[in-house]
Amino acid sequence: MELEIGQIMEILPHRQPFLLIDAVEELEPGKRAVARKCVSYNEPYFGGHFPGEPVMPGVLIVEALAQTGAVAILSMEENCGKTAYFAEINRARFKKKVVPGDVLTLTTEIIRQKGPIGIGSATASVRGEVVCTAELTFAIGSKEEERKNGGFVSEVEKRTGRKNTGGGSTGAAGDDCVPGLRQGDQ
């Protein structure tokens, strides 16, 4: 299944300049997504990263991978209206620079999920060459659950046994997780 930008924006809350995927080329809800990011010289970060040698910041490549995984997990019917939060980034490796004119292929596969906590294996490539890999841990929550349970951080700490010092949103689905897709159409 493919999704255009309007459909992605119905799943993720991100907007320009922080919506970092342009299209979803493949989607298996709850399992995997493959997205595309066309890297333009007009990206706002290139003005300062780095003058005279524009390079896409690695943290934004990882965020694009997280947004790809958020589309996969939030397109599941039971996650409609919820938010995918970053809980942890492990084994991030940057192998090549990403520069204006590159087209990033972003693949995130959900490899484990127990309750609201899950892990995605993520790879970014340009023209078939791997530029970044990472393991991304996420926590699924809703505003109501977060208020009731004291937030997703306490849930992550309970399930992983590790203290979490941060977190960020990687998506919130609207009423219709995958526009035009009924649950039986997958």
- The catalytic site residues sit at 49
User: Is the Cβ–Cβ distance between 167 and 18 less than 8 Å?
Assistant: no
Strand duo 117-126 + 129-141: pairing: antiparallel
Encode burial over 50-63: b for 16+ CB neighbours within 10 A, e otherwise: eeeebebbbebbbb
> Residue 150 corresponds to which tokens in the numbers above?
């004291």
Cis peptide before 100 (omega within 30 of 0): no
CA-to-CA distance for 57 and 160, rounded, in angstroms? 29
The dihedral over CA atoms of 164, 16, 43, 22, expressed in degrees to the nearest 10, equals: 90
